[in-house]
Every structure is written in C-alpha cells, then in structure tokens.
Structure 1
C-alpha cells in the first residue's frame, strides 16, 4: 500500500501545532511525527484527497501561516525511513521498547515492536504515558482490554506485567494484523486480538480497560467503557490534550465513573478512572 506524506510548516509554531495534531487525527492521518517547523502526517493514498486539507482548523487561527508539501511514498520506503530514524525508547528503568533490528536490552521488560504504520512505539507522549502508568497498577491475574490497540504494545506490556486474560481491538485491519505479529515477537501469543470496534465489548466485562485513541472517540464510547468495566475496575485513557481533560472527566462522571488522577507530557494527557 502506498502512503501520502504531508509535511506541514507552521509560522508561528505554537499553539498551532497542537491544533494541527487534532486536525490530522480527525481527518484520519494514521501516523504523525514532529518536525522543527511543524509536523508530518501519513495517510493511505487511497484515502487521501488534497481537498481535505481545506478543512484544517489551524488555518483559521489569526495571523497563522500554514504551508504543506505532499509526497507519495511506497510502503517499503516508509519502512526504510522508519528504520533509519527509530531509536529504542526507555519507559523506565525496567522497560525498553525497541525494534527487532535493535540489540536486546538487559531489562526486565524488553518489548519488541515492528509498528509498520500503527501508532504506538512509545515515542509518542500518549503511548509513553500509558506504558508508564501500567507499572503503577497490580495487573496480576486481571482481565484487560486494549481498545484501539494499534501495534499492541500496551496489551503486550500488560501481559508481561501479569495480566491474565488480555484482549485488544482495532478498527484498522493492518493494525489488527500488526498486533498479532508483535505479540508473536514478544512470546505473548495468547493475547486475543480482534478486528472491529467498541461493539465487540458490549457483552463482556474487564478489570482494566485501556483506550489510547482520540478525544472524540473516547467521548462517544465512554458509555461502553463504563458498561464493560467490572466493579472496582480501572479505565486508563489517553490520546488527547491537557486542555481536553475536563471534557473527558465530565463524560466519565455522567456514565458513573470516578476521576482518580491525570498526568501530562508536552501538552498531552492521560487519566485514570475507576468504578
């Protein structure tokens, strides 16, 4: 599959970049990376039309200049580009997330991820926050669902931390397939991954639910998370900005969930909810 690579140049850079991230998420860009002058977004060529860039909210900011460069790259070129830039990421003293071509690390939790186009290597703030948070919870013997599992990295880490029945769901078929591949790389083949949406958890219950997606989907699916969470269970959410925390918490409370705490990193946030 070919991908479209769009480089966005922003002047001034802030607060435009945070708004651009939200734009790209809503428009369906599957991966985003920072640059010194803005950001680069990736989208499958079959889904991309240049007209969608006319709907960027960031372009409506007063005195804001937005320029972009569009290129088409083959899937193999994406992999080459990613491999040349990807570096292992240390979540804490016990955990490193790396690629298969990196040297094995001598830590307790050495996670191997080949992300392809999935969003979740630990480099993005939201994945980093969620991975760190998992170490603060007693997962041994717990059932856990990873909604929007992407690479499967959070489900894999949870399994290694002792979670018993671990499942993951992603609406994108390539992410679903990538999760299975990564589970095999980490000898966590008993994780059950599914291709689908939140409706797949409608008749199930879990001790822990993870969802690192985006603000709009989290707000829309909050009722489903609440229904699928066992009493005394926890929901860990990320994929949104620090400025979105109040809206997320309000939606959670409307659905019978309690706010426990939040963490932030470079403007991005994660929150823990309980039942």
Structure 2
C-alpha cells in the first residue's frame, strides 16, 4: 500500500520532505534517492526521511513508483512541502548529535556533546545539504578517513555537501582541503560550517565540480553514487599523488566489485572495505609512489 499526503499550496513550497516507516526496502529506496539529487536524509529507529527541491519531486516520485513496480515494493510514505524559512526550525527540531566512532562526534551547534566526551567534535549545522551524519555512507567515510589521514595531506572532497568530510580531514591532521559541489545550498553551507569549526583558512569550497580542482591531492573523498564514482575515477586518478589514498562511498556492498574493477583497470588497488547495513565505503591506493 502506498499513501501520499501533500501540502495545500504546493506552488509556494520550496522543498519536499518524504517520510517512510522502516522496512526491508530502505536501502533500495535511499540508493535511488541519492541518484536523484536528494538534498538530505534524517534517520531514526522507526522512520527515515529524505528531502528534495519541490521542483524535482514530481519527477522523482514517478521514478520511485516505477521502481516500486519493477521491484514489487509495497510500502507507505508521506509527503509534505514547506518554504525556505521553515528549514532551520525543521532541522533544529530533528537533528541530534551522532557518535560516528569512539573519537568522532557530529553535533549541531544547538546541542552540547555528552558529558565527559573529549574526542573530535564536528559542529555541523545542515542547510538542506547532504552530510549530517544521519546516513550510513557519511559515517563510513569518516571512519576510513580517521584511519588513513596523514599529517599535512592535501584533500579533495567531491560532492562536499555540508563540508563535513573536508572539515574533518583538516581537523584530523590534513593541511588543506578543497570541496566541490554542484548544489549551491551545499556551497553556502560548507562555508558556514568551516567557520563554525575554525577551519576557514584551511578549507576552500567551490560551487561546481572537478574544474575547480588544482594540482595533486594526497587524499580524495567522494561520497556520491556508484555510477558517478565509476565515471569520475579516471579524473580522480589523474589528480591523486603517487602513494595517495582515495575513499569512495554512496553505493551498496553488492556494488563494490564494479567500482573496484574500474579502479584496478586504472592501476590502483582497493585496500579496505568497511560496511554498515547494506552500504560500503572503500579505501583505494595509488601505489606508484
């Protein structure tokens, strides 16, 4: 059964929120949404939500329903629409601190970390952009980044979203990070979050894509879709310094072999894979040091 609830004045809406009760189809639907330019996700034990520009939702919903038919998915979902000025209040009522690992916490500015916590605190206030820590792929990226970052690394974050990965990279010891995103909301939000975390002199953000990358990078981060990662791997390889590391996510564990094959064809090696639920992140090494 499918059910949809919409606002009464959709022509005045700027954004759409779609909410699902937890089911066995969550990962399939989320993967589809990531490929359809979802602006953000929220997850709880019993439900999860995705956010879209109101101008895109009709097309996304048609594609989603087609997918439901092809995959014989039966689920319920609700949709409501809201304007720009309601965004901050909506997120402030929903976002809570997320413990990514023993030593990394993501928290919005209006929450305090748990008493006694003395690890890395990433203060991230989302403004309709991906990277709140509420999606498994963000957490997986951060866990691998924490393990493989090196002092004075030069970092490139592709699809930077809130800027959380670029900001974390320099707070974990990197020297400088460039972040790029085609979403203007993400560009503005990443700049604001860099200021919140005191990394504004070590991070640069650009509205656009790989055309803003310059020189070579020691660590490249890309939490986008499987197909986008595969398409962009040759460009990543050209920008990666000898001995450099690349962390990729945004895809299912069942898709890892496809991504690994492209990396190996480019002469790189997949060193590590970590998983959360059905999602994976992989660490790729360029070995011609």
Same-fold status (TM-score > 0.5): yes
Q: Answer whether contact 1:95 1:107 (CA < 8 A) is retained.
A: no
Deviations 1:134-190 (A, max 9, x none): 221242111111111111111111111111121111111110111110000011011
Pick aligned residue for 1:102 from 111, 133, 140:
111
Whole-angstrom distance in 2 between the partners of 1:68 and 1:135: 36
Q: Answer whether contact 2:127 2:189 (CA < 8 A) is retained.
A: yes
Equivalent residue runs for 1:193-232 within 5 Å: 193-201=205-213, 203-232=214-243
Deviations 1:89-143 (A, max 9, x none): 1223322111111125642422111011111122211111111112212421111
Pair 198,103 (structure 1): closer, same or farther in 2 beyond 3 Å: same
Deviations 1:41-68 (A, max 9, x none): 211123332x442222531345432444
Pick aligned residue for 2:166 from 131, 155, 163:
155
Secondary structure at 2:67 match in 1: helix
Q: Answer whether contact 1:32 1:41 (CA < 8 A) is retained.
A: yes
Deviations 1:216-264 (A, max 9, x none): 2101101101110011000001111111111110111122211101000
Q: Answer whether contact 2:268 2:285 (CA < 8 A) is retained.
A: yes
Pick aligned residue for 1:54 from 62, 72, 80:
62
Equivalent residue runs for 1:75-224 within 5 Å: 75-103=84-112, 106-190=117-201, 191-201=203-213, 203-224=214-235
Moved over 6 A (4+): 35-38
Unpaired runs of 5+ residues, structure 1, are: none
Whole-angstrom distance in 1 between the partners of 2:60 and 2:132: 27
Whole-angstrom distance in 2 between the partners of 1:64 and 1:104: 39
Secondary structure at 1:188 match in 2: coil
Pair 25,93 (structure 1): closer, same or farther in 2 beyond 3 Å: closer
CA RMSD of aligned residues (A): 2.1
Q: Answer whether contact 1:93 1:107 (CA < 8 A) is retained.
A: no
Q: CA deviation at 1:8?
A: 4.3
Check if 1:28 corresponds to 2:62: no
Pair 138,216 (structure 1): closer, same or farther in 2 beyond 3 Å: closer
TM-score (norm 1): 0.90
Q: Answer whether contact 1:148 1:212 (CA < 8 A) is retained.
A: yes
Higher RCO (Cα < 8 Å, 6 or more apart): 2
Pair 43,230 (structure 1): closer, same or farther in 2 beyond 3 Å: same
Pair 77,92 (structure 1): closer, same or farther in 2 beyond 3 Å: same
